[in-house]
Structure 1
Amino acid sequence: MPGTHHSNQIGELVAVLVALQSINPQTPIKFITDSKYVINGLTTHLSSWEDSGWIEVSNAPLFKAIAYHLRRRPTPTTFQWVKGHSGVEGNEKADQLAQSGATKADVDEVDLYVPRNFDIQGAKLSLITQQLAYRALMADTHLKYNRQTLCLLSITRAAIENLTTTLETDETIWKSCRHKDITKKIQMFIYKTLNNAYKLGEFWLQIPTFEQRARCSACGELSESMEHILVQCNNLARKKIWSMVRTIWPRKYGPWPEPSIGLILGCGALSLPQNPQNRDSDNENRNATKIAKGPSRLLRILLSESAYLIWTVRCERAIKGQTHTTENITSRWANTINRRLQLDRAIAARTERSSKAITLVAQTWADIIKIDTNNTTQQNNDEWVTTLEVLVGIKLPRPSQTEETR
């Protein structure tokens, strides 16, 4: 299929286009598909997309070509939606062919030609807004990333694919930096790290009399990097924080994924299946499984908050010369996670919050908290989420007397 990002949806669009190009225009066609994306795009959204000049519309060249061939046909063309994976033989075979097309190594030549008199250019002046015009300008702006950023994007993409089997685009990775489950200051931290904006390691080697700043102040590593700080350094604080995260992670969610720079930078795009066993199954089965919203959200919070705390502690040590004891690190990490928990509860306690939002908070934290019900006569199900009078906090992992912190 054309393009660099392939999916079943694109495969079905290509199938519709090739069918329209191959079948005699005098012959009526009925398309049966489980893709609401294809049907809605060619019926409900088509006129509005044309009026807006196709600004920020994914797969616009394919939709344009299909619309051209639909309009030049004198005979009826109809679309019927069927439920996916419901045993409809034709639909099942079509899904398999679409998946095969998405995973092909060789790119097929697809004719996307649209005559000029059919190709509507620009957006309608009567409908354009400042927001739409700004998006059009941004869409035509092509940024050039430096070598380090391209490398980090590739590492992040591979780490996400290894855990979720989903191959994310650069655009998705950048958008995941602003995921709502990540606090604003950590969003900025991840964004700046992806842009290689922090002055670390090799940066100081180019400045006379400051070469010593390139070394890690904890272990003496010659060229300090963000990856070294977050996942490689032998510093006690880093080891202790990840050890506590590993210990508090509920076993029923599957094994704790070993932190890497890619997982940390791509934490906003991570998701876990409802059945932990599906994490080790083949790609097709894993893509068909439902997402466990609570565990996925907990994973994003633990990764982002813990990584940012490691960075904060490193800056205090390297810049301010502070030292940190095991007790201090344990207390700060517990306070950090507890603040996120209490923030979730405070937001969920607002009267306009839906039951789904309350359930999501409960699913996120229920397996790692302890509840003090001494001051309450009754505590049912998820009542602790919105009853702020109830004392709730995470269960701190008990220090091991035999196992050395890893």
Structure 2
Amino acid sequence: KLLSPKKQTEQRPSTDIMLERVKTAVRVWTSKAPTDKKIWLSIQKKNISCGAQNFLWRCLHDSYRLGKKWFHLEGYEEHASCHECNELDSLDHILTVCKTPGQELIWKLTETLWNRTGKPWPDISLGVILGCGLSNHIVNNELPDTGLNRLFLIIVSEAACLIWKICCEWKIKHEGRLDKCPTAIEVANKWRSTMSKRIQFEIIASNSGRFKNKAIPFKMVKKTWGKLLSTENLQGLRMRDITGFLVGIGLDDPP
């Protein structure tokens, strides 16, 4: 389980900076500024996959070795920069700016999926990504729209985590070679696979007969994905049906 730093423990300056960035972004996005506690709790929600939780937690602590953190390691200084963009590497750069290997396409696909809800898509920034569990959509101007807020949390956290995984695979496994950079089709297929698996997991996990009190309430799954998938037989969907839907909403021709 992910835990926020204890009150008596002094936070690292880099963590404080990240928290302030989230507060600023969420304030602009939702008109409400969250507390540090709410930010930490938002990345511990059980709706976030374990992989995405760990990723967001490390991002909030700014604990990944990126950019200037390489400067003091003799012989590794070249790892500080993105060779393709010729800029200092950072979480901002990888998740929202880098030309390779596919972050722009992944956000376009995620935005296209979200647009099916009819709700506005925010300007994606590092602060919005790390604060994705703090969206504030409401129903009838009163109650939180749990399905919509949950959907945003899931698709943004999964998209960001996927961008990071693809980047790590390209830079570490393939040493950042341009001839090994994934194509747009490969990136789109990875995105479809990630989203399809998540939807399929939720459908399976909502089986109360199989998982008893540990099952995800089917009403919540339906609130989250029902409108997007446009089907009355949500529990009967198979992986190929879900993947077919993701292709069928205009994502089969990536730019």
TM-score range, shorter chain: 0.7 to 0.9
- The partner residue of 2:157 within 280, 304, 320 is 304
Contact 2:202 2:216 in 1 (8 A): no
Is 2:188 aligned against 1:330? Answer: yes
- Structure 1 residue aligned with 2:100, among 225, 235, 245? 235
Q: Compute the displacement of 1:323 (Å).
A: 2.1
Alignment partner of 1:201 is 2:67: yes
Q: Which has the higher helix share?
A: 2
1:259 is displaced (CA, Å) by 1.3
- CA change 1:143–1:368 in 2 (3 A) is same
Correspondence for 1:384 among 203, 225, 234: 234
Taking only aligned residues, the RMSD between alpha carbons, in angstroms, comes to 2.6
Summarize the Cα distance change of 1:391–1:257 in structure 2 as closer, same or farther, 3 Å threshold: same
TM-score with structure 2 setting the length: 0.85
State the Cα deviation string for residues 305-346 of structure 1 (Å, max 9, x = none): 000000001101111114201111111100100111011001
Q: TM-score, normalised by structure 1?
A: 0.55
- Say which SS state the counterpart of residue 217 (structure 2) adopts: helix
Which of 217, 221, 228 in structure 2 is aligned with 1:361? 221
Task: Please show how residues 1-400 of structure 1 align to structure 2 within 5 Å.
Answer: 141-221=7-87, 223-274=88-139, 289-321=142-174, 322-351=180-209, 352=212, 357-369=217-229, 381=232, 383-385=233-235, 387=236, 392-393=241-242, 394-396=245-247, 397-398=249-250
When residues 291 and 318 of structure 1 are mapped into structure 2, their CA distance, relative to the original with a 3 A threshold, is same
Matched position secondary structure for 1:249: helix
Letter in 1 for 2:218: I
* Structure 1 unaligned regions, length at least 5: 1-137, 276-287, 372-380
Residues 255-281 of structure 1: CA deviation (Å, up to 9, x unaligned): 111211011111122231236xxxxxx
Gaps of 5+ in 2: 175-179
Moved more, 308-317 or 352-361: 352-361
For the residues of structure 1 that align with 2:68 and 2:37, how far apart are their CA atoms?
A: 28
Per the TM alignment, residue 295 of structure 1 is displaced from its structure 2 partner at its CA by 1.2
Q: Percent identity?
A: 28
Which structure is higher in RCO with an 8 Å CA cutoff and minimum separation 6? 2
Deviation at 1:366, TM superposition (A): 2.0
AA aligned to 1:265 is: L
* Contact 2:30 2:135 (8 Å CA) reproduced: yes
Distance 1:331 1:389 in 2: 17
Q: Deviations over 1:38-91 (max 9, x none)?
A: xxxxxxxxxxxxxxxxxxxxxxxxxxxxxxxxxxxxxxxxxxxxxxxxxxxxxx
Change (3 A) 1:332 1:207: same
Match of 2:177 in 1: none
Deviation at 1:161, TM superposition (A): 2.1
SS in 2 for 1:395: helix
Amino acid at match of 2:33: L
Q: Distance in 2 between matches of 1:239 and 1:398?
A: 16
Q: Distance in 2 between matches of 1:323 and 1:344?
A: 31
Determine the C-alpha separation between the residues in 2 that align with 1:368 and 1:269: 21
- Please state how far the C-alpha of 1:236 moved relative to its aligned partner: 4.9
Counterpart contact for 1:181–1:268, Cα < 8 Å: no
Structure 1 CA distance, aligned partners of 2:129 and 2:166?
17
Offset of residue 165 of structure 1: 2.5
Provide the secondary structure at the position in 2 that maps to 1:167: coil
CA contact (8 A) 1:348 1:361 kept: yes
State the Cα deviation string for residues 91-121 of structure 1 (Å, max 9, x = none). xxxxxxxxxxxxxxxxxxxxxxxxxxxxxxx
